[in-house]
Amino acid sequence: MARAHRDYDDIPGTYVFDADHHRKGYDLNMMCMSLNDPANRAAFAADEAAYLDNWTLTPQQRQAVLDREWLEMLRLGGNIYYTFKIAIFDGLTMQAVGGAMSGVSENEFRQMMIDGGRGNDG
């Protein structure tokens, strides 16, 4: 059964982390959380694909992780606080990930935030 339309379903470029989205991304988010453990980070570093085999990810979630498609991870149920653990693993800053998701450089993203963020029109 399809879920009912929500008022926030049409916010451009936004994936609201509601209960449905949480269920959709549970395994993806738990995999990300597992990177808190140094042994898990070492296993992920040694062979990312093999490490992901230990988790019940959809093929799309798996590919998004391997390709570091940040927006796709969010679309597929990821929560930014969890998926950012992969960015930390990669040595990325929040501004670098925000820039990648916004189609601008890390410095451009940083300046955009200093200037008050992106306008309502995107």
Alpha carbon separation from 37 to 14, 15, 78, 80 (Å, rounded): 30, 28, 19, 19
Q: Which two tokens stand for residue 14?
A: 């936004």
Residue 23 has what pLDDT?
85
Distance CA 80, CA 74 (A): 7
Residue 117 tokens read as 């963020």
Query: Residue written as tokens 């993806």?
Result: 28
Residues, the chain, total?
A: 122
Beta strand residue intervals within the chain, DSSP E: none
CATH assignment of 16-91, given 1.10.12.10, 3.30.70.3270, 1.10.700.10, 3.40.50.970?
Answer: 1.10.700.10
Contacts 24+ apart (CB under 8 A), 59-64: 61/25, 61/27, 61/28
Extents of the domains making up the chain: 16-91, 92-122
What number is the average pLDDT over the span 3-29?
78
Q: What is the pLDDT of residue 1?
A: 59
Q: In angstroms, rounded to a whole number, what is the distance separating the alpha carbons of residues 106 and 75?
A: 22
Q: What is the pTM of this model?
A: 0.83
List pLDDT tens digits, range 43-97: 999 999 999 999 999 999 999 999 999 999 999 999 989 999 999 999 999 899 8
- Identify which of 70, 1, 45 has the alpha carbon closest to the alpha carbon of residue 28: 70
Residues 6+ apart with CB under 8 A from 41: 35, 89
18 — pLDDT class (breaks 50, 70, 90): confident
